[in-house]
Structure 1
């Protein structure tokens, strides 16, 4: 789980990004301008910042420069904009931005950028020479900057833990009440079906969407409609670790 600061003057963008990132298990703090972003950065250093470029008080590139100049750019920053030029994106990257996302932001691009930023902010694995000096066994992992961890792997230190509270029992061994209207019976089966795949895929919405053949936004709506409690499953998984 990561603490992510979302800075955007558009309420709809803030709400959308907050919902998506919360569903992925992250803690999200919101800021609608640079002043609120400064206060949030001062109170606690987030693990990642999603920063809009065009804001009414101070633009995102200027705020990025300010943080770098003050030695506060200690976390990855992903810039966002629907009107920025290539020159602006290049400048932000030169200053220290991790990535640039063009609005409207697709779910796949957002989650991939977040995963990569969080993965690269993790400490790199010790070199074979260092581990040999310590008498330890040298790891065979590649450098952290070359690894694309999933959100769940970043949350669990590289592991894939199925959320506790979600049933892994094979469908053939599950019992369903058949003496009920077809719609209710179908909903009960679909809920068990999605709970099974969520548990099997370690809670990864991306992989469940791929496995079930549903577009991700459709999957979110479907799970909410069926009453699948993702938050409860994540909390149980964290308690188990």
Structure 2
């Protein structure tokens, strides 16, 4: 599976890199929404994992809304350390498929990847 991960925390990126190596998935990471949106590879993703709070002008919620507005229909999983009611409400409004609170355990993340595996 081709996974895009938009995250600015190196520790979180390393965890998902190790996980995807063990599952045989491919992973491309971006540190912010702007760089992810400017990449052509985002349109080839089978699954997008995105942090909500990112550096730059766009949040993960903004990015997801833009992708949906442009017709991208792959599953998007929001991952955040912030259990804020506004985020929980807005993730559905922008078209994300799932909302996970960090830290996400490895078994839970494996289950999520398997659930969305193409």
Q: How far off its partner does 1:37 sit? A: 1.1
Alignment length, in residue pairs? 116
Report the Cα distance in structure 1 between the residues aligned to 2:3 and 2:78, rounded to whole angstroms.
13
- Whose relative contact order is higher, 1 or 2, with alpha carbons under 8 Å and at least 6 apart? 2
Which of structure 1's runs of 4+ aligned residues deviate more than 4 A? none
* 1:64-75 equivalent positions in 2, closer than 5 A: 64-71=64-71, 73-75=72-74
**CA offsets 1:158-183 (integer angstroms, 9 cap, x no match):** xxxxxxxxxxxxxxxxxxxxxxxxxx
Larger Rg: 1
* 1:37-186 equivalent positions in 2, closer than 5 A: 37-40=36-39, 42-43=40-41, 44-57=43-56, 58-71=58-71, 73-118=72-117, 122=118
Decide which structure has greater helix share: 1
Over the residues paired in the alignment, what is the CA RMSD in angstroms?
Answer: 1.4
Decide which structure has greater strand share: 2
**CA offsets 1:28-73 (integer angstroms, 9 cap, x no match):** 1111111221133x234210010000001111001111111122x2
Report the Cα distance in structure 1 between the residues aligned to 2:85 and 2:110, rounded to whole angstroms.
22
Report the Cα distance in structure 2 between the residues aligned to 1:112 and 1:85, rounded to whole angstroms.
24
Please give the TM-score of this superposition, normalised by the length of structure 2.
0.89
- Answer whether contact 1:54 1:81 (CA < 8 A) is retained: yes
